[in-house]
Amino acid sequence: MLKNPSAQWLQRDRVFDFLVPREVEGLDLSHGTVLYMEGVSVSFDGFKAINDLNFYVNVGELRCVIGPNGAGKTTMMDIITGKTRPDTGTCWFGQRHNLLRMSEPEIAQAGIGRKFQKPTVFEHHSVFENLELSMAGPKAVWPTLVARLSGEQRDRIEEVMQTIGLAEDAATLAGSLSHGQKQWLEIGMLLMQNPLLLLVDEPAAGMTHQEMDRTVELLSSLAGEHSVVVVEHDMDFVRALNSRVTVLHQGSVLAEGRMDDVQNDKQVIEVYLGE
């Protein structure tokens, strides 16, 4: 039903040979693609923010999206998460989930998590408590107040703290963390929701070099079990991620490929890297 031209690259590059499509609450990933956007356009007051966009993400892939301001990066993520409805086009999560017919909560519950540029954590709660509050499951007030963690849930929180590098800060209040640590905690909070697709907006902004290096390791480690789309302006950070790169310009894909190829593309240099 849906086609994915980038699947040819997946087979050719053989980077993702380890991937095994899986079923998540009826999510059909049998074609090896987790996200399809085809012919998508949206205008705001006559300005075409997204213009006939075709964008595909493979299962377990780490993808970077770059482009000048106004290229449509944020609008694209808004469409994927249901915040913005396009004028035309289709947007599918796997083969069966039509994202354009789903609400924002339904999309999140289906397995798409988004982290905005500015970290949003519960500053007066500990790292452990932030992750506990973010667990997938019913969120009614009374059940949340009286619920007791099972051994499995505690193990999951411990596992996520190890993944994000905050195991030694379990009792630390989130408000006391550095900017980079707050970014990692918010990624951990998303992981507690068991998403299949993670959308991460400018994670390197405001980080020290050491924090950036650790964030590269974290995002790279998540690829495989999760598909990860990173929107970023810091080209050193993008190069360090060493992933496939999509360049957006005026709401469309201008170029796509490895960073070495993209940075030598004349059109990309003209509209973005040459700024």
**Mean pLDDT across 88-108:** 95
With bands split at pLDDT 50, 70 and 90, how would you rate the model's confidence at 29? confident
pLDDT at residue 18, rounded to an integer? 32
Q: Residue 3 has what DSSP assignment? A: -
Residue 136 has pLDDT above 70, yes or no: no
Question: Domain 7-118+198-273 is of which CATH architecture?
Answer: 3-Layer(aba) Sandwich (3.40)
pLDDT at residue 263, rounded to an integer? 87
CB atoms within 10 A of CB 175: 11
Q: Residue 71 has what DSSP assignment? A: S
**Are 177 and 209 within 8 A, CB to CB?**
no
pTM over 0.95, yes/no: no
pLDDT tens digits, 1-13: 455 544 443 433 3
Residue 117 has pLDDT above 80, yes or no: no
Beta-carbon contacts of residue 257 (< 8 Å; ≥ 6 apart): 244, 245
Q: What percent of the chain has pLDDT over 70?
A: 85
